Amino acid sequence: MKVYLDNNATTRLDDKVFESMIPYFKEEYGNAFSLHLFGRETGKAVSEAREKIAKVLDVKPEEIIFTGSGTEADNLAIRGIARAYRNRGRHIILSSIEHPGVRNTCRDLEKEGFEISEIGVDENGVLKLEELKNSIREDTILITVMHANNETGAIQPIEEIAKIANKNKILFHVDAVQSMGKKEIKPKSIGVDTLAFTAHKFYGPKGIGGLYIRNGVRVGKVITGGGQERKLRPGTTNTPLIVGMAEALVDIYNNKETEELKISKLRDYFESEVLKRIPEVVINSKKAERLAGTSSITFKYIEGESILLHLSLKGIAVSSGSACSSDELQASHVLLAMGVPVEFAHGTIRFSIGKYNTKEEIDYTLDNLVEIIEKLRKMSPLWDKN
């Protein structure tokens, strides 16, 4: 049996989404920026897709910018705001659990003279609001905090953060890459200024993302070129992927409650069985509000990479942390920020359940996981000492 439990890394393309994209690869292939018939046909499809996404988010179509990924959307928002508002100030605040797309972008801006402050999280991976308030300075121009963490699924208090940012006249960017399609997000009503997302996290195609930019927010250019996407993201419009992203988002939102209930039941069953059948385990962020399908589990006294490889040999796909940094053997900065000891952080596996998973797959995973943990602990000198 093959079991895919790495849906936070990417999801399988929905069949209906694939079908919606096909005509724009072969039949309606014109450049959406061209004025002729072929261009007008694809241009209309792009406009309709933008309107669909805007409707889901309850924003204006012109406030949606298409990008090549969620990381690019984060870069455009953060670098663009930094460049546009640098005369007002050069201080940026982020949380200590941000995705590398945000974390490394902010670190890179330090080379351009910006100052960065990281706000800590509690043991459940939730941002400390008082620490945030105390970190604000007169020259703070941007606060950037993810909506839901990609490793633990912990949902951040973005409504409260937005109130703090707005009260202090600071722009607020939200990385909603992991939560889009899983939780309802209305950026304008919350008070968010920019918000990033990407299609492949909600059963859409890879290679396409989006950025909401509230009207009135200035964003400096990160890429120079033609006039596409309000001159903020020049390059030939990727019509099929844009159409696919809109189709995927509308579909997942129309079925969000049903899918969320099904997925959360599978996750809760999985976690309860792990706790029953395997000693010395910790469910990370268990006391926080989490995304329905995310389960970050620390198996004490074992290396996570060993668990991952043994599960892979059984046809089960999981992650030892963020897929974007899975080639590195360093402990997760997210778990370390939560106070998880480094030796235990190395023994953490992320199981992320999606809409295509079944109870049969979960039971297969549980049976193999119990066997693998028992085997690896017998081989571990750390387990003997315990």
Q: The domain that contains 260 carries what CATH number?
A: 3.90.1150.10
Q: What angle do CA 180, 186, 192 make, to 5 degrees?
A: 95
Q: What angle do CA 240, 242, 248 make, to 5 degrees?
A: 100
Query: Which of 106-110, 226-230, 243-247, 357-361 is predicted least confidently?
Result: 226-230
Per-residue pLDDT band at 160 (split at 50, 70, 90): very high
pLDDT in tens, 251-263: 999 998 899 999 9
Residue 105 belongs to some domain of the structure: yes
- Helix orientation angle between 239-254 and 256-277, rounded to the nearest 10 degrees: 70
Residue 346 belongs to some domain of the structure: yes
Mean pLDDT over residues 169-175, rounded? 98
**Is residue 338 a contact partner of residue 345, using CB atoms and an 8 Å limit?**
no
Q: Are residues 228 and 111 in the same domain?
A: yes
Per-residue pLDDT band at 80 (split at 50, 70, 90): very high
Q: Are residues 181 and 302 in the same domain?
A: no
Q: How far apart are CA 284 and CA 307, in angstroms?
A: 17
What percent of the chain is modeled with pLDDT above 90? 84
Which run of H or E residues covers position 364?
Answer: helix 359-379
What was the pLDDT predicted at 321? 60
Residue 215 belongs to some domain of the structure: yes
Mean pLDDT over residues 100-117, rounded? 96
Q: Are residues 264 and 236 in the same domain?
A: no
Q: Are residues 233 and 308 in the same domain?
A: no
Residue 242 belongs to some domain of the structure: yes
Asked which of 254, 272, 301 is the last residue of a domain, the reply is 254
What was the pLDDT predicted at 383? 65
Helices (H) then strands (E): counts for the chain: 15, 12
Say which DSSP state 35 is in. S
pLDDT in tens, 19-46: 999 999 998 888 788 778 777 888 899 9
Burial class (CB in 10 A: 0-12, 13-18, 19+), 366: middle
Ranges of beta strands (E only) in the chain are 3-4, 64-67, 91-95, 115-119, 140-146, 171-175, 194-198, 209-213, 281-283, 294-299, 316-317, 348-352
What was the pLDDT predicted at 382? 66
**Is residue 204 a contact partner of residue 212, using CB atoms and an 8 Å limit?**
no
- CA distances to 7, 138, 141, 176 from 101, in Å: 18, 26, 19, 12
What was the pLDDT predicted at 31? 76
What was the pLDDT predicted at 378? 83
Q: Are residues 273 and 357 in the same domain?
A: yes
Q: Are residues 284 and 345 in the same domain?
A: yes
In degrees and rounded to multiples of 5, residue 21 shows phi and psi of: -85, -30
What was the pLDDT predicted at 123? 97
Asked which of 224, 254, 284 is the last residue of a domain, the reply is 254
CB atoms near residue 198 (< 10 Å): 31
Written as one string, the DSSP assignment of 304-354 is HHHHHHHHHHTTEE-BSS-GGGTT--SPPHHHHHTT--HHHHTTEEEEE--
Asked which of 220, 254, 288 is the last residue of a domain, the reply is 254
Closest Cα partner for 21 from 266, 299, 324, 241? 241
Q: Are residues 271 and 187 in the same domain?
A: no
Which run of H or E residues covers position 134?
Answer: helix 129-135
Please determine, for residue 178, whether its predicted confidence score (pLDDT) is greater than 90.
Answer: yes
Mean pLDDT over residues 350-376, rounded? 97
Residue 92 belongs to some domain of the structure: yes
Q: Are residues 290 and 377 in the same domain?
A: yes
| Number of compact structural domains in the chain | 2
Q: Which two tokens stand for residue 358?
A: 């079944």
Per-residue pLDDT band at 154 (split at 50, 70, 90): very high
For the chain, give the mean pLDDT: 94
Mean pLDDT over residues 76-98, rounded? 97
Please determine, for residue 163, whether its predicted confidence score (pLDDT) is greater than 80.
Answer: yes
Containing structural domain, residue 59: 15-254
Residue 134 belongs to some domain of the structure: yes
Q: How far apart are CA 33 and CA 144, in angstroms?
A: 32
Which amino acid does the sequence have at 48? Answer: E
What was the pLDDT predicted at 229? 85
pLDDT in tens, 224-267: 898 898 888 989 899 999 999 999 999 999 998 899 999 999 99
Residue 69 belongs to some domain of the structure: yes
pLDDT in tens, 275-299: 999 999 999 999 999 999 999 999 9
Q: Which two tokens stand for residue 32?
A: 């959406």
**Is residue 176 a contact partner of residue 59, using CB atoms and an 8 Å limit?**
no
Q: Are residues 108 and 227 in the same domain?
A: yes
What percent of the chain is modeled with pLDDT above 70? 96
Catalytic residues: 324
What was the pLDDT predicted at 384? 61
What was the pLDDT predicted at 322? 46
Q: Which two tokens stand for residue 69?
A: 């990924």
Q: How far apart are CA 177 and CA 209, in angstroms?
A: 9
Report the b/e string of 121-157 with b at 16+ CB within 10 A.
bbebbbbeeebbeebbeeebbbbbbbbbbbbbbbbbb
CB atoms near residue 188 (< 10 Å): 16
Residue 386 belongs to some domain of the structure: no
The alpha carbon of residue 25 and the mean position of all alpha carbons in its chain are separated, in whole angstroms, by: 28
Residue 199 sits in a domain whose CATH number is 3.40.640.10
Per-residue pLDDT band at 214 (split at 50, 70, 90): very high
Please determine, for residue 152, whether its predicted confidence score (pLDDT) is greater than 60.
Answer: yes
pLDDT in tens, 299-328: 999 989 999 999 999 999 999 864 455 455
Q: Are residues 236 and 265 in the same domain?
A: no
Q: Are residues 82 and 220 in the same domain?
A: yes
Q: Are residues 211 and 279 in the same domain?
A: no
What was the pLDDT predicted at 94? 98
